[in-house]
Amino acid sequence: MAINENTKLEELLRIKGEIKELLPYLSKWRVEELNKLISQFYLHKWKRRRTPRYGAINKGFTQKELEVFLDAVKEPRFKLLFSYQAYLGLRIGEVCKLNLKDFDFKIRELRVHTEKAHTLDTLIVPQFLFEQTLLYINTYQKEIEAAEGYLFYKDKQKSHNKGDCINLNYARNKFREYISLTALNETYASTDESTPDRTKRTLHRLTSHSLRHYAITTFNRAVNGNITLTKAFARHKSVNSTQVYIHTSKEELYGAIDKAFFDAAEIKMRMIK
């Protein structure tokens, strides 16, 4: 007979209580042994065997792809939301929570509550994006005020989210909806799920996070590969994390190969002569 969820939860709480009572009487190696057993079970049951992620596949937008995508986004709210990802590199959860109080409108400065590092950072909003933001705020002032200052307010008539700001999964779904209208909705593999209760997922080359990839790659080019500045822009703790987001186009790679070996061949010919 199948055990329902409430019964499982009650059993789990009972076991948790018993373990808590026993812990003071267990030796250190017994506790380590118990921890190892739980970890092994967790890894066996939940760890996913994935297809190699994407190798040399460029997970970021190119300039042309970004133009095509943003042109397909007809709703001003989502066009601005995705623009903040593409031009300031905000994560989807960060951009969904943008509030009027996060802006210093006198100097175009934005306070960002960085999700990964749990820090408060500041970025300057590019002039063109700042002007778009002011126009958007002016146009949707009533809706923003009703949402307690959140720029990307939720649809009151829809129940996709509790609270006043838009739900990040709803924003992700809107991204998929809009990119499906273009020829950019490419897939490259599917996950290899190892447990029967997990369904395979199709892996898309471009996701909402690809907008952040574009922002960081573009910024890195603009500062001539200065990784320290790029790390600060990306709000990463480690340079290694930043490097994952810096992509080289096929044209750049092939052009560099030709140039490198053309130059090498020229030098060799001069030496022979």
Candidate ranges 42-51, 58-67, 123-132; pick with highest mean pLDDT:
123-132
CA pair distance 88, 212, nearest whole angstrom = 8
CA pair distance 202, 51, nearest whole angstrom = 11
- Any idea which of 56-65, 196-205, 218-227 has the lowest mean pLDDT? 196-205
In a domain, 1, yes or no: no
Q: Output the pTM of the full model.
A: 0.73
Q: What is the pLDDT of residues 180-220, one digit of tens each?
A: 999 998 888 776 655 555 667 788 889 999 999 999 999 99
What local confidence, expressed as pLDDT, does residue 114 receive? 83
CA pair distance 74, 186, nearest whole angstrom = 21
What is the count of structural domains for the chain?
1
What local confidence, expressed as pLDDT, does residue 23 receive? 82
Contact 231, 219 (CB under 8 A): no
Q: 3-state DSSP call for residue 118?
A: coil
pLDDT at residue 29 tops 50: yes
pLDDT at residue 260 tops 60: yes
* Backbone conformation region of residue 89, classed left if phi is above 0, alpha if psi is from -120 to 50, else beta: left
pLDDT interval class at 55 (50, 70, 90) = low
Candidate ranges 55-64, 71-80, 248-257; pick with highest mean pLDDT:
71-80
What local confidence, expressed as pLDDT, does residue 6 receive? 67
φ, ψ at 152 (rounded to 5°): -100, 75
In a domain, 27, yes or no: no
Helical pair 210-222 and 76-88, crossing angle rounded to 10 deg: 50
Torsion of CA 170, 94, 208, 123, to 10 degrees: 150
The parent domain of residue 120 ranges over: 57-265
Q: Which two tokens stand for residue 88?
A: 């300031």
In a domain, 71, yes or no: yes
In a domain, 70, yes or no: yes
Nearest-CA neighbor of 82 among 132, 122, 147? Answer: 132
Average pLDDT score, the chain: 84
What local confidence, expressed as pLDDT, does residue 190 receive? 74
CATH number of the domain to which 201 belongs: 1.10.443.10
Looking at residue 165, the DSSP 8-state letter turns out to be B
In a domain, 23, yes or no: no
In a domain, 11, yes or no: no
In a domain, 87, yes or no: yes
Q: Which residues pair with 199 in a beta bridge?
A: none
Looking at residue 57, the DSSP 8-state letter turns out to be -
Q: 3-state DSSP call for residue 92?
A: helix
CA pair distance 120, 101, nearest whole angstrom = 13
Contact 91, 234 (CB under 8 A): no
pLDDT mean over 19-24: 83
Torsion of CA 121, 122, 126, 129, to 10 degrees: 70
In a domain, 52, yes or no: no
| 80 or 253, which is more confident | 80
